[in-house]
């Protein structure tokens, strides 16, 4: 595999936009493979398993491609499980990690034969009562570690809704004992955009201590949250260093206890963020006494991350890359304040120019909507140099689908 991360060229993105229209999500399959290769090499020193966190991007073709690479699947809803099965993942390679869901979703997941990850004491107790035959479970613990870019994406702190607090470990042990549960794994996930290797190691040391309570344990799932760079010079998780340190920690634990455990990870954004591009068209360049706005044929109905998380996405003018740079406020066509960027320096933008948002593969289309009764965009996968349509652009009939005429 090349040491240079593969990227799509402006010409390839332009060709896709001319062929399929805008706005358009474009994904680069080889970039996903490159990221997956980094992971497998980095953690080759331990018995590691990778479960793609498909909530980041669930297009069936992406799931099939990730399955082809050899990954497993992490799902947070029953429908994601069903999509995973459709994509060809065997049930035993799917981990179901819902949160605050109805118990019947767990029961349905058991019927489908997938692995179950439980993050509340009441569900753990009820599960043990229903499945007294010892159906194996994983238990999600809240490590009380504050990590991630901001509180919206931090999930392991003391006030998070996710997981069973490590301070309740005695209650967990009592439920496991009284219900004769077979705990095959323990799980933690502290958040997203974590650049510090030490945060993962702190969580791992805690989980290794917790493992002493579960004699049948086979794995420790450290979730993910690997940070990817969103702008030039951005820090990112040192995956290679993390893999080395995690391997060393698991080996020390094996030597001291005689127990060899698998290390599980759930990369989502790490695998698909940088593979994705959102190509849009400049509808209008609007000058006011205060700003110069570029209004594009998209909005937070297609890419909500800048508005919801204050996330930064690099923007490029791929039609007029050599134009004189000017500061622009890039906004959408939604009847809300949907500002993608303020004061962003771009080569001169003219009406009809194509702009591209980079790092749009994760939580882009996946969080899109039909707000303002606008259509969701098409999706294209570049594979082996060929642009393949993997989701058609919505049409007016899609807005009516499911509606019933009663008046």
Identify whether the C-beta of residue 273 lies closer than 8 Å to the C-beta of residue 225: no
With vertex at residue 60, the alpha carbon angle to CA 230 and CA 41, rounded to the nearest 5 degrees, is: 55
CA distance 51 to 392: 28
CA distance 393 to 278: 14
335 is catalytic: yes
CA distance 144 to 193: 17
What single DSSP character describes residue 191? B
CA distance 396 to 374: 9
Task: Output the CA torsion 4→7→11→17 (10° steps).
Answer: 170
Contacts 24+ apart (CB under 8 A), 317-320: 317/346, 317/347, 317/348, 317/349, 317/353, 317/354, 317/355, 318/10, 318/13, 318/14, 318/279, 318/354, 318/355, 318/356, 319/14, 319/350, 319/352, 319/353, 319/354, 320/347, 320/348, 320/349, 320/350, 320/353
Query: Where would I find the beta strands (DSSP E) of 256-338?
Result: 262-265, 276-287, 292-296, 315-317, 325-331
Largest CA distance in the chain: 72
Return the active site residues. 335
């Amino acid at each position: 595999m090349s040491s240079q991360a593969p990227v799509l060229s402006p010409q390839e993105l332009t060709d896709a936009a001319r062929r399929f229209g805008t706005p358009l999500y474009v994904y680069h399959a080889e970039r996903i493979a490159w990221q997956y290769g980094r992971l497998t090499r980095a953690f080759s020193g331990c018995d590691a398993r990778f479960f793609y966190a498909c909530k980041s991007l669930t297009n069936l073709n992406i799931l099939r491609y990730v399955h082809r690479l050899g990954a497993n699947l992490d799902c947070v809803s029953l429908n994601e499980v069903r999509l995973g099965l459709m994509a060809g993942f065997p049930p035993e390679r799917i981990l179901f990690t819902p949160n605050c869901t109805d118990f019947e979703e767990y029961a349905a997941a058991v019927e489908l034969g997938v692995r179950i990850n439980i993050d509340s004491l009441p569900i753990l107790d009820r599960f043990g009562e229903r499945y007294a035959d010892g159906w194996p479970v994983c238990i999600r613990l809240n490590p009380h570690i504050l990590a991630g870019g901001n509180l919206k994406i931090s999930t392991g702190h003391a006030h998070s809704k996710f997981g069973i607090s490590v301070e309740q470990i005695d209650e967990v042990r009592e439920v496991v004992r009284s219900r004769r549960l077979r705990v095959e794994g323990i799980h933690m996930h502290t958040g997203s955009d974590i650049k510090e290797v030490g945060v993962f190691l702190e969580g791992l040391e805690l989980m290794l201590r917790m493992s002493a309570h579960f004699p049948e344990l086979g794995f420790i799932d450290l979730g993910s949250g690997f940070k990817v760079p969103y702008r030039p010079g951005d820090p990112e998780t040192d995956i290679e260093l993390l893999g080395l340190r995690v391997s060393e920690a698991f080996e020390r634990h094996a030597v001291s206890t005689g127990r060899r455990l698998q290390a599980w990870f759930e990369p989502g954004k790490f695998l698909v963020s940088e593979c994705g591009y959102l190509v849009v068209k400049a509808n209008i360049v609007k000058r006011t006494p205060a700003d110069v706005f570029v209004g594009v044929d998209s909005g937070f109905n297609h890419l909500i991350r800048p508005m919801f998380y204050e996330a930064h996405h690099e923007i490029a003018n791929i039609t007029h890359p050599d134009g004189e740079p000017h500061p622009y406020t890039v906004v959408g066509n939604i009847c809300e304040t949907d500002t993608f960027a303020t004061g962003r320096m771009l080569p001169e933008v003219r009406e009809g120019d194509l702009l591209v948002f980079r790092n749009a593969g994760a939580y882009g289309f996946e969080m899109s909507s039909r707000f303002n009764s606008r259509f969701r965009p098409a999706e294209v996968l570049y594979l082996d140099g060929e642009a393949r349509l993997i989701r058609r652009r919505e049409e007016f009939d899609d807005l009516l689908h499911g509606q019933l005429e009663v008046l």
